[in-house]
């Protein structure tokens, strides 16, 4: 019997068809029906009509894992035994979610779900081991402030007073490197803090690695700390996980256990994740949010601020019934965005900077419906985001594009964002899948051409992705160089192999063996904290390797490295750099109007 099967005590499977609620907000007390279905475990239940309420009896410390997958969007949340809202199990509008939690006390919990189509939920309770003995700090704390706190505690000062002084200015603590400030002026000592855990606290962030536990502060019952050295241009998000359940398993099992209690740092003043487009206040759920750290020289949110001009809405296209079975299981929908009509008019009316003549000859009749010229001579860049949901929620790509266009840093562009029915489908599509590359080239490009009436030019079409999406972008360009002229990858998963451990079929080896028919321009970014792993190269080294291979083959390549990890909080602040690098030269082809005060 495998470990996974051995640790499952009970399982639940539901299949439900429902109409999505008109709106979702923090569930009020009065809306909770006392006639909730009691889950007798194990159980199999079927329900309908939109909103579902289940009662779940748990003991304090019970460790629960679950997965919800739907044909459409759903929203699920938990309430405590006194029927007070406790935590969301997914982001609003998602079609899949994998979650875990630890019951904080004994009692009946309420699981509520709203869904718009068929959905399934699987829950399991995992066995826990006793907590390990506390690990003392292996050496004297580096932080001068932590050292001073220990001395104050030894002198008899109360824990409450010491804690209050430590967190008074927010967390984490940021200090120059003691004794080495002059030798390492761009290094900082960053100390993360937690209070209240009894057994352990884990740090979840770019610098955590394998050994990521905080240490209990001497002379205290429940104050914890951990210091890291990092460059002063570090940008990252993080969470802290108190009293992580002790389970047996590999690194992935241990990571999932930490996610059961992971939450934002309550004394960090820059939480992230509350500004997404959701009909509830995410600030009420510390498990849904992350905390952030951006040191003094880190990339800033330059083009993320809400613009002065309104952003046009996107149009959604579903492909049900129009794709074969293999593709319909991979792709759920496409969101298509077209830029501001007046901005496109200004673009089309611009003069060629070399000749002074109209940039688009004498055919510039605009279609009010599609924004663009009906004449075949007109072409605008097209940007296709392969992690569509991520580039709408965690990374507001459309806002970045809109701001860059109004600053005159890039020409007007059309954007398409690809979304998937569930996590398995997304992983399958983005794993250098030829069928997915075929879909982008043979289905999505014709749709964009049909809806915008633009002339699509190969060198104006860009594929964008993060993580597996960066891999998929490079794979699609490799397969269809006649269609795609630009690739923008943020922390691309280029250590991928189709069937481990056949190195010869890795994407990097493919580029080494054959040069595609036409040149492609590449922009890569990766984080210095994206480490290698025992099973193969990580993001950092594989990205650097691929960039070197492409440069050797004669491709135009830009590579930027940042002091960051595999982190959307970093990607959202640096996306604009790749867009300007690849699209900026296209602005030179047509003199773009610049807003007053734009940076030169």
Quote the pLDDT of residue 399: 94
How many Å apart are CA 464 and CA 588, to the nearest integer? Answer: 22
* CATH number, domain 314-589, options 3.40.50.2300, 3.40.50.720, 3.40.50.1820, 3.40.366.10: 3.40.50.1820
Quote the pLDDT of residue 321: 54
Quote the pLDDT of residue 522: 97
Instruction: Read off the pLDDT of residues 78-90 as tens digits, 9 standing for 90 and up.
Output: 998 888 899 999 8
Return the CATH architecture of domain 3-126.
Answer: Sandwich (2.60)
Return the CATH architecture of domain 144-294.
Answer: Sandwich (2.60)
Q: Which residues of the chain have pLDDT under 50?
A: 1-33, 47, 49, 351-356, 359-376, 500-504, 534, 590-600
8 A C-beta contact, residue 26 and residue 284: yes
8 A C-beta contact, residue 68 and residue 38: no
Portions of the chain given CATH number 2.60.120: 3-126
* Widest distance between CA atoms in the chain: 84
Instruction: Read off the pLDDT of residues 507-528 as tens digits, 9 standing for 90 and up.
Output: 777 777 766 557 799 999 999 9
Instruction: Read off the pLDDT of residues 315-365 as tens digits, 9 standing for 90 and up.
Output: 888 876 566 666 777 888 899 999 887 778 777 776 444 444 554 443 343
Quote the pLDDT of residue 42: 54
Q: What does the angle CA 305 – CA 311 – CA 313 come to, to the nearest 5 degrees?
A: 135
Describe the crossing of helices 423-430 and 468-479 by its angle, rounded to 10 degrees. Answer: 40
Bridge partners for 427 per DSSP? none
Reduced to 3 states, what is the DSSP secondary structure of residue 577? helix
Quote the pLDDT of residue 183: 65
Whole-prediction pTM: 0.86
8 A C-beta contact, residue 382 and residue 413: yes
Q: Per-residue b/e over 495-517, b at no fewer than 16 CB within 10 Å?
A: bbbeeeeeeeebbbebbbeeebe
Portions of the chain given CATH number 2.60.40.10: 144-294
Quote the pLDDT of residue 97: 87
Portions of the chain given CATH number 3.40.50.1820: 314-589
Quote the pLDDT of residue 41: 56
């Amino acid at each position: 019997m495998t470990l996974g099967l051995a640790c499952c005590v009970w399982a639940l499977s539901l299949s439900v068809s429902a109409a999505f609620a008109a709106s979702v907000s923090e569930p009020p007390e009065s809306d909770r029906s006392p006639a909730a279905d009691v889950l007798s475990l194990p159980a199999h239940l079927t329900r309908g009509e939109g909103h579902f309420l289940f009662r779940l009896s748990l003991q304090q410390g019970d460790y629960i894992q679950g997965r919800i997958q739907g044909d459409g969007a759903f929203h699920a949340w938990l309430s405590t035994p006194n029927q007070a809202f406790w935590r969301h199990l997914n982001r609003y509008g998602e079609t899949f979610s994998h979650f875990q939690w630890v019951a904080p006390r004994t009692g009946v919990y309420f699981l509520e779900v709203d869904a718009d189509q068929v959905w399934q939920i699987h829950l399991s309770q995992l066995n826990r081991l006793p907590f390990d003995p506390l690990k003392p700090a292996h050496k004297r704390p580096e932080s001068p402030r932590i050292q001073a706190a220990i001395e104050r505690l030894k002198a008899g000062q109360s824990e409450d007073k010491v804690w209050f002084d430590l967190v008074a200015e927010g967390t984490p603590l940021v200090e120059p490197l003691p004794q080495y400030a002059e030798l390492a002026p761009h290094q900082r000592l960053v100390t993360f803090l937690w209070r209240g855990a009894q057994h352990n606290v884990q740090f979840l962030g770019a610098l955590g690695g394998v050994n990521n536990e905080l240490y209990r502060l001497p002379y205290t019952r429940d104050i914890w700390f951990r210091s890291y050295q990092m460059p002063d241009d570090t940008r990252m998000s993080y969470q802290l996980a108190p009293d992580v359940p002790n389970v047996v398993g590999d690194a992935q099992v241990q990571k999932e256990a930490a996610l059961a209690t992971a939450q934002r740092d309550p004394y960090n003043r820059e939480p992230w994740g509350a500004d997404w487009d959701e009909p509830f206040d995410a600030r009420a759920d510390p498990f849904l949010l992350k905390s952030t750290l951006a040191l003094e020289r880190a990339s800033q949110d330059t083009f993320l601020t809400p613009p002065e001009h309104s952003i046009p809405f996107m149009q959604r296209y579903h492909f049900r019934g129009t794709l074969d079975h293999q593709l319909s299981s991979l792709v759920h929908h496409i969101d298509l965005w077209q830029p501001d009509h007046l901005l496109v008019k200004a673009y089309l009316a611009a003069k060629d900077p070399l000749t002074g003549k109209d940039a688009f000859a004498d055919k510039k009749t605009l279609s009010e419906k599609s924004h663009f010229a009906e004449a075949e001579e007109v072409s605008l860049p097209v940007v296709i985001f392969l992690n569509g949901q991520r580039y709408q929620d965690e990374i507001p790509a459309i806002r970045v594009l809109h701001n860059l266009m109004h600053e005159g840093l890039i020409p007007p562009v059309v954007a398409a964002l690809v979304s998937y029915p569930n996590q398995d489908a997304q992983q399958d599509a983005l794993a250098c899948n030829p069928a997915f590359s075929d879909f982008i080239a043979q289905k999505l490009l014709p749709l964009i051409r049909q809806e915008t009436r633009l002339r699509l030019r190969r060198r104006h079409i860009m594929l964008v992705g993060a993580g597996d999406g960066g891999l998929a972008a490079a794979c699609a360009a490799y397969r269809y160089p006649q269609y795609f002229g630009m690739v923008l990858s943020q922390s691309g998963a280029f250590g991928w192999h189709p069937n481990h451990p056949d190195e010869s079929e890795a994407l990097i080896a493919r580029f080494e063996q054959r040069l595609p028919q036409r040149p492609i321009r590449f922009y890569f970014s990766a984080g210095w904290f994206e480490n290698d792993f025992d099973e193969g190269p990580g993001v950092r080294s594989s990205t650097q390797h691929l960039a070197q291979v492409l440069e050797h083959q004669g491709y135009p390549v830009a590579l930027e490295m940042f002091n960051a990890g595999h982190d959307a909080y970093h990607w959202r602040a640096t996306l604009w750099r790749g867009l300007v690098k690849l699209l900026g030269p296209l602005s030179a082809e047509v003199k773009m109007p610049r807003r007053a005060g734009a940076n030169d």
